[in-house]
Chain A
Amino acid sequence: MIFQKAKGIHIEGRKEACKKIPIKDYLSPKYVYIPLLQRATNLKAEVSVGDEVKIGQLVATNEQQMNIRVHASISGKVTGIKKAWHSSGKMVDSIEIENDFKNQLIETIKKEENVDSLTREQLIKKMELAGITGLGGAGFPTHIKYKTKAKIDAVIINAIECEPYLTCDFHFITKYPEKLLKGATYFMRAADAQKVVVAYKTYNYQIREALQPYLSKFPHVELHPIKNIYPAGWEKYIVEQVTKKTYNGLPAEAGVIVNNSATAITFCDAVEMNIPLIARPVSINGEGINHPSSFYVPIGTKVSELVELCGGYVKGLDPLKYNYIAGGPMTGRAIFIDDLIVNDTLGAVIVKKASEGVYPECLGCGKCADVCPVYLTPTEIKKAFERKDVKLLGDLNANKCVECGLCSYICPSHIEITEAVAKGKDLLRKGAK
């Protein structure tokens, strides 16, 4: 339908600076801060101050909600529960662990012997025990996805990373291509699916080159190139592109499960080595960084240490004129103090120039409605929100907004339209209750 032809737009990637430098391991920070918050869920600390912990030891849980499990990412001594800046934009209580640099592993971390004979239930259990969550940004516990009762035809590995500046997934995949394929295969088995589709951007042809040599070993894997547009990494978009089917709630309706590529690599380790989710790749990028690069770091690492490894901020940087963004530039949050810790959903920290200058009023060009991937009309939602017209917000499907940020991105008048729509979405949710 002509009036709904809106499938994203091309946004300049700005990844090249970071892509050139290979990913580095930074596995032994002096301190780590394990946040007692995961995806708006508060966790209960399982250790107390003074305890010695080993790598992979369970430190925090929330068994009531989706059985979230968080593990120590370094070995050492718990020195306190401290507030630290979290990528959600708030300061959260975190377990401070001081590294003893002995790298003691917990006993359960050992090579799994009979990987090939693991059943679906065993794989999902491993997933749950390892505390695997989506590393793409949503942080949704992965095992919940696999407990679906729907018939799953395929597992899609999202290797798209469509937001500008982000390169951690790219680096991670090109470094561990075989692990990716293995992890994906375990996912496939955990879902009783027949095939794996790796969706990647045509722009990142290096991913195809990295995976190509292993494809003969994994005949059930197919590569699916996707156009270089934003939001190509959006779950629904990938599913529509790959299966030509659409859905309303979960991808399982279309017979697929979508997982991030970094999740797949982590899951591979979890299955084969029983290593829980204790580390993840992070990009440090942006004009404010001297030598942008990506790191593979334990969860809880201070970002400031990574920034130092990148050569620090550019000379003469005026922090008040720069944004310190946790996450991708399209969906991330501005953090006021650069005291951020790496958590499971933090894929990148971007330091870039803040917007300044004054911009005109909305001129009603309608570009926001044109680019909206869910065919909303942001201007009208904004007006309805300003009038607190809950009924109209419902008529305008404000709850369907995925907060991709495209409307604000495209707005020629620099209006915070995404924020207004998000507020409208909240108002509708509250008003509907």
Chain B
Amino acid sequence: MARFAGGKAPFVRASEEKDYGTKVIMRDVMIALLPVILFSWYKNGIQVYIDGNIGLLEMFYPLFFILIGGFLSVLMEGIFYFVTDKENRSIKGVMQKLSLSFPAIPGLILALLLPLYTPIWVLIFAAFIATIIGKMIFGGFGHNVFNPALLGYAVVGFTLMGVINNAGGLFNASEAVVDAYAGATPLGKLASSGQINYDTLVAPYGSLWDFFIGTIPGALGETSALAILFGGLYLVIRKVIKWYTPVIYVGTIFVLSWIIGAVTGDAGLWFPAYSILSGGVMFAAVFMITEPVTTPTNVLGKVFFALFLGVFTVLFRFVGSLPEGVGTSLIFMNIFTLPIDKFTAVIRTKRFKKPGGLYLGILTGLLVILAVYTLVKAGAMYTVYIPFLGWVI
């Protein structure tokens, strides 16, 4: 007779297989980031070097910057684990904890969200905010409320954008000398001019095809829809993300922008296309709103989250004075991840029976009200259709 190990059913676990598990998921996310990183390097390093506008050493800077972002967040978490673990302080222990907390990803995404000419000390500060404040203080991987990378980006964006712009901002050496850009991103032009006009929003940057390929000015990782789609496709095929989350998010923005464009500027299909191809919508759709920890878990929750997020993105873009509607709306919606998860789980199980129907009604109602408000406000429609609402809203 022998004493055997205990355990809980089931005794067969997919996570024990070689190519499955959280580590594999996170590895897949990093692989999916690869085309984005490479394109970013190509656009901001190699191509500029080929143009003859920077030297060989500078050519490697974008890659260096992104990798240092990933390395910094690993380092920060390592220090945090080392400092906080008073009883069993050892490098080995830190390494093991690091292997379970996937520290590189927030750093990589953070670097991809920042402009190329962000000074390194700003990057260090942002990495600190992202990993220590955004992730470790909440309890580490799996417990963070806000997307760490986004939190770091938001804090830096709100406080140190001037420093970043002084250091060169997001225009690489080739882009800085293009007069047509006039020192603004496509979305910046929309925010500053408020006019829906192809000639000012799209024409200076080429065509929508350039928007899709990504040869427009913007933060390191956000410009190329093509590279992001490659990464997204890989994630969908690997079943790391659900295809409908990005599609619903992008679709919501597309439809709302289309209506707004049609109502206010008489703009054609180019405007919704422009809306989804600028300002990091694609990057957020694939890499940030699908980030599992800080977004709802169940299917219905993901759908509602994406819908709300799309509406808020458009709202912040057109109604607020914030050009970065994506980041702001995502941070805002991160707060509501837990309740959305809870309510949609009830809806999922109870369907229209009490209280599922009630919750469904509340969520849908909120969504519709927000969407209508966004359209009315952004399209300035109240002045057209319901004049008295002008001073109510």
Contact = CB atoms under 8 A, between A and B. Distances in A.
Contact of A337 (B2, B21, B294): B2
A350 B11 contact: yes
A418 B9 CA distance: 8
A410 B143 CA distance: 20
A339 B4 CA distance: 11
Contacts of B2: 319, 337-338
Interface string A353-366: 01100111111111
B11 A359 contact: no
Contacts of B20: 412
Interface stretch (A61-69, A170-178, A262-270, A326-334): A326-334
Interface stretch (A104-112, A180-188, A203-211, A370-378): A370-378
Contacts of B22: 359-360, 363, 365, 412-413
Contacts of A11: 12
A365 B297 contact: yes
Interface in B104-121: none
Contacts of A358: 96, 100
A43 B345 CA distance: 42
Contact of A324 (B4, B96, B292, B295): B4
A161 B4 CA distance: 26
A358 B97 CA distance: 10
Contacts, number: 189
Count class of interface residues, chain B = 35 or more
A332 B282 CA distance: 46
A330 B2 CA distance: 23
Contacts of A400: 349
Contacts of B15: 359, 411-414
Contacts of A354: 5-7, 11
A331 B10 contact: yes
Interface string B321-357: 0000000000000000000011001101110000110
A411 B141 CA distance: 16
B313 interface: no
A242 interface: no
A360 B9 CA distance: 19
Nearest to B356: A395
A379 interface: yes
B88 to A, nearest CB: 14
Contacts of B240: 365
A26 interface: no
Contact of B350 (A380, A383, A397, A409): A397
Given A359-B100, A365-B292, A392-B342, A333 B349 contact: no
Contact of B10 (A330, A360, A370, A412): A330
Nearest to B2: A319
A366 B5 contact: no
Contacts of B6: 323, 334, 336, 354
B141 A360 contact: yes
A369 interface: yes
A369 B9 contact: no
Nearest to A327: B9
Contact of A408 (B13, B102, B301, B342): B13
A228 to B, nearest CB: 15
Interface in B46-98: 96
A31 B24 CA distance: 50
A330 B12 contact: yes
Contacts of A408: 8-10, 13
Interface residues of A, number: 64
A320 interface: yes
A332 B349 contact: no
A334 B348 contact: no
Given A320-B4, A405-B9, A3 B14 contact: no
B345 A377 contact: yes
Contacts of A395: 346, 349-350, 355-356
B274 to A, nearest CB: 30
Contact of A375 (B4, B21, B341, B349): B349
A245 interface: no
A352 B9 contact: no
B21 to A, nearest CB: 5
B369 to A, nearest CB: 23
Contacts of B7: 323, 334, 354-355
Contacts of A336: 3-4, 6
B300 interface: yes
A334 B1 contact: no
Contacts of B300: 3
B31 to A, nearest CB: 16
A360 B142 contact: yes
A418 B129 CA distance: 36
Interface string B149-172: 000000000000000000000000
A329 B12 CA distance: 6
A226 interface: no
A58 interface: no
A4 B349 CA distance: 9
A325 interface: yes
B267 interface: no
A227 B36 CA distance: 39
A403 B240 CA distance: 25
A237 B19 CA distance: 29
A329 B293 contact: no
Q: Name, among B23, B100, B346, B348, the residue most crowded by chain A CB atoms within 10 Å (CB to CB).
A: B348
Nearest to A363: B292
B21 A412 contact: yes
Contacts of A350: 11
Contacts of B141: 360-361, 363
Given A337-B4, A366-B297, A360 B13 contact: no
A25 B295 CA distance: 56
A200 to B, nearest CB: 21
B1 A164 contact: no
B175 to A, nearest CB: 37
Given A3-B348, A319-B4, A361 B140 contact: yes
Contacts of B9: 325, 329-334, 403, 405, 408, 418-419
B295 A376 contact: no
Contact of B4 (A329, A338, A369, A370): A338
16 contacts: A322-B5, A329-B9, A331-B10, A336-B4, A360-B141, A363-B22, A363-B292, A363-B293, A369-B298, A369-B348, A379-B341, A396-B346, A397-B349, A408-B8, A409-B10, A414-B16
Given A304-B1, A322-B4, 12 more contacts: A3-B348, A11-B12, A321-B5, A325-B9, A336-B3, A338-B1, A351-B4, A358-B96, A360-B141, A365-B292, A376-B349, A392-B342
List of 9 A-B pairs having minimum Cβ-Cβ separation, nearest first: A361-B142, A405-B10, A377-B345, A380-B345, A324-B4, A319-B2, A354-B5, A329-B11, A330-B10
Interface of B: 1-16, 20-25, 96, 100-102, 140-143, 240, 292-303, 341-342, 345-346, 348-350, 355-356
Interface of A: 2-4, 11, 164, 304, 319-325, 329-339, 350-352, 354-355, 358-366, 369-370, 375-377, 379-380, 383, 392, 395-397, 400, 403, 405-406, 408-414, 416, 418-419
